[in-house]
Amino acid sequence: MTKLAVLAIGGNSLIKDKQHETVEDQYDAVCETAKHIAGMIEQGYDVVVTHGNGPQVGFILRRSEIAHEVGGMHAVPLVNCGADTQGAIGYQIQQALYNEFKKRGIKKKTATVVTQVVVDKKDPAFQNPAKPIGTFYTKERAEELQKERPDWVIIDDVGRGYRRVVPSPMPVEIVEQEAIEMLVKNGFSVVGVGGGGIPVLRNDNGKLE
C-alpha cells in the first residue's frame, strides 16, 4: 500500500537571505527541495506539497502599494495576494518536480490546486493578528511604518527583526479537498493549500465570499 506524506515548504525557506530575494533565487531554492521530494517518491510515498507564503505576500502587497502611490493603480486585496502566491509558488514547485521526475525517470505528474479554506468569522484570530508577512524591518523603520500605516500591526519577530502580522484564522473546511484527493488517487503529486489556503466565509445562503 502506498504511503501518503504531506510535506510543507516554509515560505521563509525559499528566501535564503537579503541577497537572494528574487523570483529566480526562489526557484533555485525550490529546485533543491524538489530533489528531496522526488527522493521520498522513490521510497514509495505519494506526496502532497503545501507551502508558506509570508515573505511573498508581503512583496506583492508592497508592489501593489507602490503601484497605487506612483501610478494610481487599484490596490490588491490581501486574499488576492494569497491567491497570487499559490499560483506563482505552485507553478515553480510544479515545474521543478516535473523536471526532477523526468531526470530520475519517475512516471509521475504534478498539478497545483488553487485552494480556498472556509473560516469562522467569529475566529478570535481576526482580533489578534499573528501571521508574519513581508520583509524584516529594523526597529527604526518599523516605528516609521507604524506612524505611516496605523492600521498595520508590526511585531518583533523572535529577535530577527520587525515584521507586519495579519490574521490567520483556523480553517474549518478545505473547499477543494475532493479535487486534491482525486488527483492523488490518479497518480498526481499535488501542490495545494498554499499559505494555509485562501480564507473565505460561507454566508447564510451557502455561498463563499
Listed residue (115, 114, 10, 7) closest to 52, CA to CA:
10
pLDDT tens, 83-112?
999 999 999 999 999 999 999 999 999 999
Q: For residues 44 and 108, is the Cβ–Cβ distance under 8 A? A: no
Euclidean distance between CA atoms 194 and 7, whole angstroms: 11
pTM flag (> 0.75): yes
State pLDDT tens for residues 13-46.
888 777 777 899 999 999 999 999 999 999 999 9
206 is a domain residue: no
In Å, what is the CA distance from 159 to each residue of 14, 53, 133, 135?
20, 20, 15, 14
pLDDT at 126: 92
Are 19 and 113 found together in one domain? yes
Would you give the distance in Å from CA 147 to the centre of its chain?
28
Q: Per the structure block, which three cell numbers stand in for 40?
A: 521520498
Q: Is the torsion defined by CA of 35, 113, 7, 158 positive or negative? A: positive
pLDDT (0 to 100) of residue 6? 97
* Predicted pLDDT of residue 1: 64
**In the predicted structure, residue 180 carries a pLDDT above the cut 90:** yes
CA–CA dist 168, 125 (Å, integer): 6
SS3 assignment, position 185: helix
CA distance 53 to 94: 16
Q: Do 110 and 141 fall into the same domain?
A: no
Same domain (yes/no): 18, 55? yes
Give percent of the chain above pLDDT 90: 71
Q: What is the pLDDT of residue 137?
A: 87
pLDDT of residue 61: 87
Amino acid at 23: V
Q: Give the model's pLDDT for residue 38.
A: 98
Examine residue 145 and state whether it is found in any structural domain, yes or no. yes
Per the structure, how many domains does the chain have?
2
Terminal C-alpha separation, the chain: 39
| Structural domain boundaries enclosing 72 | 3-120+171-200
CB neighbours of 72 closer than 8 A, spacing ≥ 6? none
Judge if 144 and 65 occupy the same domain. Answer: no
Whether the pLDDT of residue 145 is over 70: the answer is: yes
Same domain, 45 and 146: no
Q: Are residues 155 and 140 in the same domain?
A: yes
